Every structure is written in C-alpha cells, then in structure tokens.
Amino acid sequence: MVRRWRREARCVPLARAELRKTLAAWELSELEGDALLVVSELLTNAVRHAVVPGGREVETRFVRCDDGLRIEVHDACADRPEPAVGVPEPGADGGRGLFLVAALADRWAVGDRGGPGKRVWAELSVKGART
C-alpha cells in the first residue's frame, strides 16, 4: 500500500487510518497499537523536520512481510534523522520519537531511495513469529 501526502500535520491521522484498514485486511490487527505509533512518529518527523522545496510530498508504504509489517516513510530531504542524545526532559516537546520507534520495532533504519531524499523504515513482527 503506497500513499502520498501533503506535508501537513493533518496527514498523520489520515495515514494512521489507512494503516488501520490495511492491517485489518492483512489480518495483522494485533500489530495495530505499535504500528500506529511507529507510523505517527516517522511521518511526524518527515512533516516537521524535512526541509524541502514547496510542493514536495511525503510518501508512506506499508509492506506485508512473512512475519509482520514494514512501514516506510519517504521524503525529499537528504538529512538523516538521529535519535536525541540523552533522555529528554519530562516536559520537552520532542526528542522521543526515534526512541519509541526503536523500542517498538524489531528493526529500523534510514536509507536511500530512488530519488532525492531518504526513506526511514521500521519492521514489526507478530509476537512469536520473530526470527
């Protein structure tokens, strides 16, 4: 499942809704809670932090894997996200996203894509199916 979104905060709940439908169709609803949080964090990072020319969109890809799901977020900014150094202050407005992704996903990384920018991806497995 591939979707393109305007770089606006309102794309995050729309992408979450698409992922929820996709998980139900793939009979992977048990991944819903973690998967929705992961896509929210990755897409929010792309919307907030990817510095790109006007009109550039972000793309989400949901890929069914043998043991679960791969979530990808593509944007046209070459800057790679880095987890915050240290533990964010309790009232801090950010700095937790990639820590959450790392805690919830089996694997995650940043890589090149077939155009300008990058893709950030995370894989989640159905419990008991992890290798």
- Place 19 in a pLDDT band, splitting at 50, 70 and 90: very high
pTM summary value: 0.86
- Place 89 in a pLDDT band, splitting at 50, 70 and 90: low
Instruction: Report the CATH number that the domain containing residue 68 is assigned in CATH.
Output: 3.30.565.10
Residue 72: inside a domain: yes
Residue 73: partners with Cβ closer than 8 Å, 6 or more residues away: 39, 42, 43, 45, 46, 58, 59, 60, 61, 119, 120, 121
Total domains in the fold of the chain: 1
Residue 92: inside a domain: yes
Residue 130: inside a domain: no
pLDDT of residue 50: 76
pLDDT of residue 35: 97
How far apart are the C-alpha atoms of 131 and 117, rounded to whole Å?
A: 31
The domain containing residue 74 runs over which residues?
A: 2-125
- Place 100 in a pLDDT band, splitting at 50, 70 and 90: confident
Residue 131: inside a domain: no
Residue 9: inside a domain: yes
pLDDT of residue 130: 43
pLDDT at 122 over 80: yes
